[in-house]
């Protein structure tokens, strides 16, 4: 594979005779070659007409810039075309099925976007007086009410801006609760199948993480939890467990696990990333959960942090509700009060502090509430059922060719395969995933969870139709059979039809090129210079 003078791979060589025909522009119909913006623009012109500034005293002294800014200048049409052409190279849920397990790439209904762009919501500023935004406050309160209702919890902290931020919030509430009770435990239990942010969050707060192994069926055995508690008696702050877990399986012994943790004076933090599989079917509060973050983008169709900050509200049990961070909303009958400062607290309210200056994710709140209201209780329940149905449809369609690490049992919203079906084919998990790109699919999540070798985690979500799933399953079956037939040329070096060939990811990580350097004209090949 040839490299250009910036170390980027050149376009892949196509094997089809027609595809080999070169074009004068380098474009192939609407598949356009687009250079870097620095290669397109000139730094000696400006895309707008600006008057020469008046003479003013120079205040920078010897710090004045001695050379012109090496920034590209383009006209407005040039800039627009540049970014539109780049955007056409992106894969998105609006372009096709996005099977990323654990990430829940579901359709974002445009109704939600319309609501979020209403001037009264879109134009809210964090520094506005509270008296000018009663509607926004009521919306946040209503969204919080439904989150509490759906989870069976007692309170909600709306300020966290993402899932990991929510994890931190919940664990800080747990730490504050222990401190208020005069305890200072040092251990947090984390199953081996947990999301990577779980042990990271616990460690960030100064806890020692003790792993809990999964049993042969991919779930956590409560006896293992009891054993770990016994090894660290009196020093258990809590457990961080995901349900459904990262293997796409429901933790059927979750109540027994919760009882064991509570008996040890610990708290149960549930990673709510997979809540979209059980909405309307099970309430975490009924299962013994004390704190759980909710990824609004995964469960209620907001974007992954799009439109500004994301949102990761945290629901809290009755035991943890007093420790919800500032600011929070207090409901007194029909009155909603925004509690901003410690001077406004009532007896029993013991916030652990403040996590963020503002509730800056108004657009996410609007989108999530619009999704809830447009679906209703029955629609939200059906969305969960359809997500589980679709994942099992994929599982059944592939289980005779691909390998299931935990047997042919029902999964939840995502199905996990391992790479043992590729044994002796000469094709790796990475090769297989890259070949999916040639077929027009974003690869599934690879090598996660770590408890399974060569993991391939597929989550179709409830957004996909049966015809969409049929084509995906047929494509996967074709790839598997091709690999088993020894057709390694289809996989080695794939993707062949993407705008760029396979990158040397190891080299890119070890020797990243972080800054564009204008090439020295003397180093340009004579033929290229003549052109």
Q: Which two tokens stand for residue 465?
A: 């139709």
Neighbours of 402 (CB within 10 A): 23
Tell me, what's the pLDDT at 306? 56
pTM of this structure: 0.89
Tell me, what's the pLDDT at 1? 44
End-to-end Cα distance, the chain: 22
Largest CA distance in the chain: 81
Give the tens place of pLDDT for each residue, 153-166: 999 999 999 889 99
pLDDT band at 228 (very low <50, low <70, confident <90, very high): very high
Residue 267's DSSP bridge partners are 238
Q: Which two tokens stand for residue 65?
A: 């810039």
Q: Is the pLDDT of residue 2 over 90?
A: no
Alpha helices in 236-361 (DSSP H): 254-263, 296-299
Q: Is residue 287 a contact partner of residue 267, using CB atoms and an 8 Å limit? A: no
Task: Spell 469-504 as b/e; 16+ CB within 10 A means b.
Answer: bebbbebbeebbebbeeeeeebbebbbbeeeebbee
Tell me, what's the pLDDT at 11? 55
Give the tens place of pLDDT for each residue, 443-454: 999 999 989 999
Alpha helices in 17-132 (DSSP H): 37-40, 76-87, 110-116, 119-122
Q: Which two tokens stand for residue 17?
A: 């005779």
Residue in the structure block whose two tokens are 């990673």: 271
Q: Which class would CATH give 130-370?
A: alpha beta
Secondary structure letter of residue 445 according to DSSP? E
pLDDT band at 475 (very low <50, low <70, confident <90, very high): very high
Residue in the structure block whose two tokens are 């009155």: 335
DSSP 325-351: PBSEEEEETTEEEEE-SGGG--TT---
**Averaged pLDDT, 188-215:** 94
Q: Is the pLDDT of residue 431 over 60?
A: yes
Q: Which two tokens stand for residue 258?
A: 């919760």
**Burial tier of 28 (Cβ tally within 10 Å: 0-12, 13-18, 19+):** middle
């Amino acid at each position: 594979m040839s490299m250009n003078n910036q170390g980027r791979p050149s376009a892949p060589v196509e094997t089809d005779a027609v595809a080999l025909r070169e074009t004068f522009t380098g474009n192939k119909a609407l598949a356009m070659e687009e250079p870097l913006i620095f290669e397109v623009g000139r730094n000696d012109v400006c895309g707008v007409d600006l008057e020469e500034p008046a003479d003013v005293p120079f205040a920078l002294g010897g710090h004045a810039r001695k050379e012109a800014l090496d920034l590209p200048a383009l006209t407005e049409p040039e800039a627009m075309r540049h970014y539109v052409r780049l955007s056409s190279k992106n894969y998105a849920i609006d372009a096709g099925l996005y099977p990323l397990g654990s990430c829940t790439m579901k359709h974002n209904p445009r109704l939600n976007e319309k609501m979020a762009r209403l001037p009264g919501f879109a134009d809210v500023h964090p520094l506005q007086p509270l008296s000018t935004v009663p509607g926004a406050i009521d919306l946040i309160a209503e969204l919080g009410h439904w989150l509490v209702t759906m989870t069976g919890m007692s309170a909600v902290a709306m300020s966290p801006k993402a899932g990991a931020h929510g994890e931190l919030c919940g664990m800080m509430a747990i730490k504050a609760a222990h401190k208020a009770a005069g305890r200072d435990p040092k251990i947090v239990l984390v199953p081996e199948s947990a999301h990577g942010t779980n042990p990271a969050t616990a460690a960030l707060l100064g806890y020692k993480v003790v792993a809990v192994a999964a049993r042969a069926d991919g779930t956590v055995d409560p006896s293992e939890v009891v054993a770990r508690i016994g090894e660290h008696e009196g020093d258990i702050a809590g457990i961080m467990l995901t349900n459904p877990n990262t293997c796409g399986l429901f933790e059927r012994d979750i109540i027994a696990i919760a009882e064991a943790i509570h008996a040890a004076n610990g708290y149960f933090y549930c990673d709510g990333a997979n809540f979209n599989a059980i909405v309307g079917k099970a309430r975490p509060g009924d299962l013994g959960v004390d704190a759980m973050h909710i990824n609004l983008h995964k469960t209620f169709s907001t974007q992954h942090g799009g439109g500004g900050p994301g949102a990761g509200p945290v629901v809290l049990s009755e035991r943890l509700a007093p420790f919800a961070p500032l600011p929070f909303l207090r409901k007194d009958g029909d009155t909603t009060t925004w509690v901003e400062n410690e001077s406004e607290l009532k007896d029993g309210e013991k916030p652990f502090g403040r996590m963020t200056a503002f509730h800056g994710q108004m657009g996410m709140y609007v989108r999530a509430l619009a999704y809830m209201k447009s679906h209703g209780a029955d629609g939200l329940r059906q969305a969960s059922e359809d997500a589980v149905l679709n994942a099992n449809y994929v599982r059944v369609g592939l289980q005779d060719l691909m390998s299931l690490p935990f047997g042919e049992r029902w999964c939840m919203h995502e199905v996990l395969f391992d790479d043992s079906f590729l044994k002796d084919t000469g094709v790796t998990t990475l090769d297989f995933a890259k070949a999916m790109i040639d077929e027009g699919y974003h690869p599934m999540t690879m090598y996660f969870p770590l408890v399974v070798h060569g993991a391939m985690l597929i989550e179709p979500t409830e957004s996909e139709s049966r015809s969409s799933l049929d084509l995906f399953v047929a494509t996967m079956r074709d790839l598997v059979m091709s690999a088993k037939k020894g057709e390694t040329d289809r996989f080695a070096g794939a993707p062949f039809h993407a705008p760029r060939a396979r990158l040397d990811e190891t080299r890119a990580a070890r020797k990243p090129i972080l800054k564009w350097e204008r090439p020295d004209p003397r180093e340009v090949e004579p033929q290229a210079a003549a052109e």
